[in-house]
Chains A and B, each alone.
Chain A
Amino acid sequence: MEEREKKRSVVPFGPQHPVLPEPIHLDLVLEDEKVVDVIPSIGFIHRGLEDLVKKRDFNEYVYVAERTCGICSFGHGLGYVEAVEKCMNVEVPIRAKYLRTIWSEMARIHSHLLWAGLMADAFGFENLFYQCWRLREKNLDLVEMTTGGRLIYSVNKVGGVLKDITPDMQKVILNNLSELEAELRDVYKTFMTDYSVQERTRGVGVLTKEQVHDLGCCGPYARASGVARDIRQLGYEAYGELDFEPVVSNDGDNYARCDVRLREVFQSIDLIRQAIAKIPNGELSVPVKGNPDGEAFIRIEQPRGEAIYYVEGNGTKFLNRFRLRTPTFANIPGMCETMKGCSYADIPLLVVTIDPCISCTER
């Protein structure tokens, strides 16, 4: 035993690392090339955004909440306004619900394509990486056309949305998404069948269904291990009126995660089509009177998984508390579990497969 302990070495990984877009630090305990233990630490980019809710009034804070993250920005804005709306008993017009759903799905397409690119980059397939981001650009153009921003949407407000998607825009959206879908099939085929991709993804970082339950993982990460849990099925916004099933895969390895996320892009395209076909005419927002009082709790499905929003008002225009639990935070224990027993060279890939968003996590 004594001798064995001596052979162990601790290698620090991050917060700055070529493969990491965002700072997380891992202390990797190695035996030769094999990882035996992982100690994660976060806290490098804490910005105190939750506390800012006491200094910005609840309408103004929407813009701060959105800026929690550059990728799930729409979702964070949405989660916050939904929580405040629930707190104030505001019923949002149906058209606004559909618009929010469309933008949520655009955010998902964007996020998953970005992730696919990063994943391809992490296993060294540069060409595939560029292709994913080239497709993502098409989606970003749609976002820019409808909201005015490429990453930060700024269209949510307490009581509805600020901008409409006109019939002309709907046509452009459907058209561009069809192009995107056609090109994405090639990318999907490459991820699923290419020899070199499979070498890096198949059977690496397996997480079982039981582990997902024990460690409380969420989102595509959990669905790749066969857990059919998708918060959109609760039917918030317009999801209750759209037809979809959670995308599930059973292998629980990197390969399954690629599969789930890319299939979710197709699903999102389909959901946008359904929403555009069903969207009713009507108001974009309702006037909101008074200040939030009491508390409210909301769950929504972000591209990365289930996010939890909590607000507590005190009858003034400043909230007492805003709390946000991000999906990455829930997935970090799962990630550490998958690393045990794998080789050191797989670590970057395993970090990327949870689709980490550390700046959301630390807020």
Chain B
Amino acid sequence: MPKTRIMAFTWSTLKNLFSKPATKNYPAEPIRYPERSRGHIEIDIEDCISCSMCARSCPTGAITVDRKELTWAINRFDCLACGYCVIKCPKKCLHLVPGYQTPEGEKKEVSFKRPAPAPKPAAAPSAAPKAAGSASAAGKATLNGDIVTMANGKTMDLSKFPAEKKAEILKKLGLDAAPAPKAEAEGKATLEGDIVRLPNGKTMDLSKLPEANREKVLQKLGLK
């Protein structure tokens, strides 16, 4: 049995008294976080494809993804900084970076809006994307080539179905009267920037043509 002493801790006390303080003079002295510090989530919103994998995998449901509004929102006060969404994101556009959420009066979401995706080339007659835009705003199903996007965000590939079935589905979804076929029926070409869409569904990039030829093509197609 060790012997009993009085003031056994005095030496350590004196040492602490005359040494540098163990605490930091925060905020005068900045805190340095280690590289791996799990502070908060950041997103490269341009790369996001609104797949909702992050929102579905988050243990606390801190993330909300809106496919139609193209937004990605996070409630930083609900986020545990566990990093599971970072692992799950297929585009690797989420990052867990140092720096903690500062205190605030109320819980609120921070929302990011991603730029609208570029129109898909050559997939559909020109009128279809336009129709798609207006329909989606009204919460309706939309048609893009052979792909139907439902109001709930699910997609269906019509090319898999036989022709009658396809027509039936389109009718059901109210897509059969889309203006797209009409434009085709009239046999007219349309112009989108420098891209000409021909009635047979093909496209032509006018910017590749010399100036003089361009005029000619446009006149021929009745677009000028």
- A residues with a Cβ closer than 8 A to B are 56, 59-61, 63-64, 67, 125, 127-128, 131, 134, 137, 144-149, 152, 154, 162-163, 183, 186-187, 189-190, 192-195, 198
Contacts and interface: CB of A to CB of B under 8 A. Distances in A.
A145 B38 CA distance: 10
Given A186-B9, A186-B12, A190-B12, A148 B38 contact: yes
SS class, residues of chain A in contact with chain B: helix
A187 B6 CA distance: 14
Interface in B119-172: none
B131 to A, nearest CB: 38
B11 A186 contact: yes
A16 to B, nearest CB: 25
A183 B12 CA distance: 8
B13 to A, nearest CB: 6
B12 A195 contact: no
Contact of B84 (A60, A145, A147): A60
A144 B82 contact: no
A147 B36 CA distance: 7
B5 A131 contact: no
Given A60-B57, A64-B59, A193-B2, A187 B12 contact: yes
A194 B59 contact: no
A64 B82 CA distance: 10
A149 to B, nearest CB: 5
A190 B9 CA distance: 6
A64 B37 CA distance: 19
A127 B13 contact: yes
A127 B37 contact: no
B83 interface: yes
Interface of B: 2-9, 11-13, 16, 22, 33-34, 36-38, 57, 59, 80-84, 87, 96
Given A56-B59, A154-B38, A154-B82, A193 B12 contact: no
Contacts of B8: 189-190, 193-195
A154 B87 CA distance: 12
Contacts of B84: 59-60, 63
A59 B84 CA distance: 9
B4 A127 contact: no
A344 to B, nearest CB: 26
17 contacts: A56-B59, A60-B57, A64-B59, A125-B9, A131-B9, A131-B12, A131-B16, A144-B33, A149-B37, A152-B80, A154-B38, A163-B36, A189-B8, A194-B5, A195-B4, A195-B6, A198-B4
A321 B8 CA distance: 51
Contacts of B38: 147-149, 154
B22 A193 contact: no
Contacts of B57: 60
A61 B6 CA distance: 51
Contacts of B96: 148
B83 A154 contact: yes
Nearest to A185: B12
A148 B96 CA distance: 10
B22 A137 contact: yes
Contacts of B83: 148, 154, 162
A192 B6 contact: no
Contact of B80 (A56, A63, A162, A194): A63
A134 B34 contact: no
A360 B129 CA distance: 55
Contacts of A134: 16, 22
A67 B34 contact: no
B59 A60 contact: yes
Contacts of A186: 9, 11-12
A128 B12 CA distance: 9
A154 B171 CA distance: 51
B187 to A, nearest CB: 53
